[in-house]
Amino acid sequence: MARAEEIIRLKDICMDYGGGLILDKLNLYILKNEFITLLGPSGCGKTTTLRIIGGFEQQTSGDILFEGKSISHLPPFARKVNTVFQHYALFSHMNVYENVAFGLRIKKLPETEITRKVGEVLELMNLPGFEKREIESLSGGQRQRVAIARAVVNEPQVLLLDEPLGALDLKLRKEMQIELKNIQKGLGITFVFVTHDQEEALTMSDTIVVMRDGLVQQIGTPIDIYNEPKNEFVAGFIGESNIMDGVMYADYHVSFAGRSFECVDKGFTPDEDIDVVVRPEDIKLVPADSGMLRGVVTSVIFKGVHYEMMVKVGEREWMLHNTLMEPVGREIGLDIYPDDIHVMKKRKT
């Protein structure tokens, strides 16, 4: 990717409501036209970060730069960002047209201009002819689109989205994920998206910021984050994983599960304790006698495309994904290739 221009930078942001740090020296930059996702479990500070960018909360310390200039002192109505709220926050005493026109009215645009812009944006959101509809009469998906329309009609350079798909059912959510991505590309603006749903983040984002307890755990592309999780938390949070203790006894050599494996990692101190992550779909099924590891199938669940099998190796259960099924009780062998072994430094506790 060509080096894109930076639009927002958070510098050493701390947030403390008086009950401990919600954000602990958060540093983050957001590029123009990127779809960036703040991902993490509830309470990790992702929504607080978004609200600080929007101006709804004042950080305890630190600075926010917008195109290089500090906006920390600006109230929300003076910031060039718009927000799509978790529960949409549509004004139920106004119809769709009045909701979308709200920001334009405040800017005192002429009525003909407002009508044109509202029409255009409703067209873009697949809501043509919805002007006169009351909010109460709309479905969840339609409300979602009105909320986005109301924000983007103001032509913000950055759109903040706070778990906007959380209230939708699964099928609609999948559709909206694709649609949101298309809208973002079409508008050519930055989306800052907050979610706790790792799959949603992987599907839509250019960049994912994984957060936990007010700290950034990892920043990277979805592929980076999935394939090279930096620590055991990211690995556990993104996708399903087998995570276990291991020892890096030499460069390219790691031992776990009672034997040694070749791997692609180096640069650890000799005999350093590390975490090992192996994705369930990366474990190869082989005959019992020829495998690196040997175990007994304890359960099988059909997941649609693949089977999810639990295999007991020694004292530990491993999770495997495979399109072929082995019956419960069968002894099988497991192979793991060097590429599929992810070695991570232990989190200091």
Partner 1 sequence: MVRRVSSRVYLALVFLFLYAPIAVLMIFSFNSARSRGVWGGFTLDWYAQLFRDRQIMSSLYYTIACAVLASVFATVLGTVAAIGLSGMRGLPRALTAQLVYLPMINPDIVMGLSLMLLFISIKIPLGFLSMLLAHITFCLPFVILSVLPKLKQTQAELYDAALDLGATPLVAYGKVIIPQIRPGIITGFLLAFTMSIDDFVVSFFTTGNGVTNVAITIYAMARRGMNPKINALLTIMFAGVIFLLFIANRRTADAKTRR
User: What are the residues binding partner 1 (CB under 8 A)?
Assistant: 54-56, 75-77, 81-83, 85-93, 102-103, 106-107, 136, 150-151, 154
- The residue whose two tokens read 């590309």 is 185
Yes or no: say if 248 and 267 are a contact pair by the CB < 8 Å rule: no
User: Shortest gap between Cβ of 136 and partner 1 (angstroms)?
Assistant: 6
Yes or no: say if 264 and 244 are a contact pair by the CB < 8 Å rule: no
Nearer to partner 1, 86 or 260 (CB): 86
User: Shortest gap between Cβ of 326 and partner 1 (angstroms)?
Assistant: 50
Q: Any idea what DSSP says for residue 324?
A: S
User: Shortest gap between Cβ of 216 and partner 1 (angstroms)?
Assistant: 25
User: Shortest gap between Cβ of 22 and partner 1 (angstroms)?
Assistant: 16
Task: Judge residue 23's burial from the number of C-beta atoms within 10 Å of its C-beta, 0-12 exposed, 13-18 middle, 19 or more buried.
Answer: buried
Tell me the CA distances in angstroms from 259 to 2, 220, 256, 262, 293, one per residue in order. Answer: 44, 32, 6, 10, 8
Nearer to partner 1, 89 or 319 (CB): 89
CA atoms lying within 13 Å on the CB side of residue 21: 12
Nearer to partner 1, 49 or 207 (CB): 49
User: Shortest gap between Cβ of 174 and partner 1 (angstroms)?
Assistant: 25
Residue 347: Cβ within 10 Å count: 12
Residue 106: Cβ within 10 Å count: 10
User: Shortest gap between Cβ of 69 and partner 1 (angstroms)?
Assistant: 19
Nearer to partner 1, 89 or 124 (CB): 89
Nearer to partner 1, 154 or 231 (CB): 154
Nearer to partner 1, 87 or 312 (CB): 87
The structure tokens listed for 222 are 């979805």
